[in-house]
Amino acid sequence: MRNLKVTMAFRGTKYHGFQRQLNALTIQEVVEGALSRLFNESVQIQGCSRTDTGVHAREFVFTMQTEKSLPARNIIRGASGYLPDDISIYRVEEVPLDFHARFSSIGKEYMYRIHNSESKNPFTTDLELHYRRKLDIELLREAAFHFVGTHDFAAFCSNCTEKQNTIRTIYDIQIEKQEQTVILLVKGNGFLYNMVRILIGTLLNVNEGQIKLEQLDAILASRDRVRAGMTAQPHGLTLNRVFYETV
């Protein structure tokens, strides 16, 4: 039995996230269908993460098992013929049988893109959040510093239960402006449901003066979702990188 680590990119605009659903089109359903045709057998994949409707990925990893001896290059080329233009498999590696795309991951990096201008950018309407207010980059960086480190992020999670472990570590948050685009990179050991989008939404609320810098530590400590900021729109979010120990 071969265990394959497969890396793909996708534009999530047309899909209801990664994970298969009964009544909605998802990335998993499309990819499993394409690989099942390629391998001429039923293929099931295990993804590194769930993604929300409309969220994208530059580097999304999944694992799959097969007895077929199809070489990696043939898998990449063959899958391309069955996949739509908004999903691309670009790396296939054979890994030990105990490697799992999700459970072997030691961290992820998300990117959130904001088009900061009075006018829309027609080329990125489904890839960047259009935000008209002027962004104070230094204020955002100061606010983001409050989230770096190991914290209980229950206040930044949608639908978290009382029994759920909500402690996570954020290693770094970088915020850069490139002309009219503001790019936020959030790197951590793991993320709760909607956590990155709520973090971004909270930073935008700080920018608007609705949340003060001195309130952020208390919001974290409260574990109360109501006290944190809004949930930013999904289309600006991209899973940028997934980190593993050397396989």
Count of all residues that appear for the chain in the document: 247
* Stretch 112-140: mean pLDDT: 96
Alpha-carbon distance of 34 to 92, in angstroms, equals: 15
Alpha-carbon distance of 188 to 170, in angstroms, equals: 4
**pLDDT (0 to 100) of residue 57:** 98
Contact status, residue 54 vs residue 126, Cβ threshold 8 Å: yes
Alpha-carbon distance of 202 to 77, in angstroms, equals: 42
- Does this model's pTM top 0.85? My answer is yes
**89 beta partners:** 8
Calculate the dihedral angle through the C-alpha atoms of 75, 3, 10, 231, rounding to the nearest 10 degrees: 180
Q: Does position 67 have pLDDT exceeding 80, yes or no?
A: yes
Q: What is the pLDDT of residues 17-44, one digit of tens each?
A: 999 998 999 999 999 999 999 999 999 9
- Give the least confident one: 70-79, 125-134, 162-171, 174-183: 162-171
Q: What is the DSSP code (8-state) at residue 85? A: T
At 147, give phi and psi (nearest 5°).
Answer: -95, -15
Residue 73 banded pLDDT, cuts 50, 70, 90? very high
Average pLDDT for the chain? 95
Contact status, residue 206 vs residue 139, Cβ threshold 8 Å: yes
Alpha-carbon distance of 229 to 204, in angstroms, equals: 8
* Stretch 38-66: mean pLDDT: 96
**231 beta partners:** none
At 74, give phi and psi (nearest 5°).
Answer: -70, -35
**pLDDT (0 to 100) of residue 247:** 54
Residue 161 banded pLDDT, cuts 50, 70, 90? confident
Amino acid letter for position 133: R
Residue 159 banded pLDDT, cuts 50, 70, 90? confident
Active site residues: 52
Alpha-carbon distance of 54 to 104, in angstroms, equals: 25
Residue 234 banded pLDDT, cuts 50, 70, 90? very high
Alpha-carbon distance of 176 to 162, in angstroms, equals: 36
Q: Does position 115 have pLDDT exceeding 90, yes or no?
A: yes
Of 129, 179, 186, 133, the closest CA to residue 156 belongs to: 186
